[in-house]
Amino acid sequence: MVITEHTVEKIEDPFGILEGDRYEYRLFASVDEEDELYSPEGFYIRVLYAVTESGQHIAGLFLHNRIDDSVLDFELEEDEVEMVREYCASQLS
């Protein structure tokens, strides 16, 4: 899997309920045709990323079909999740 582009938006917390800051990433990725995530229309990864005084982490991760925005019933492998975490962290600095 290769992340080809992304968007990021800071999520506002008007009530001050959440500790720290939250960001919503949309990571557009490509995979080989042999990969189970492959589809001709493509997919993106929606990541809810939390930044607090105690650290940074993925608070939520969802795979979506690019054509109709539907949620895909797949999970990323551990190394792919770590790659996503590192990518999100590197975009904040």
- Tens digit of pLDDT per residue, the chain (93 long)? 999 999 999 999 888 888 899 999 999 998 888 888 888 888 999 999 999 999 999 999 999 999 999 999 989 999 999 999 999 999 986
Residue 80: alpha-carbon gap to chain centroid: 11
* Rounded alpha-carbon distances, angstroms, from residue 17 to 9, 10, 21, 38, 39: 18, 15, 11, 38, 38
In the numeric block, the tokens 């992340």 are attached to: 3
Q: What is the pLDDT of residue 17?
A: 87
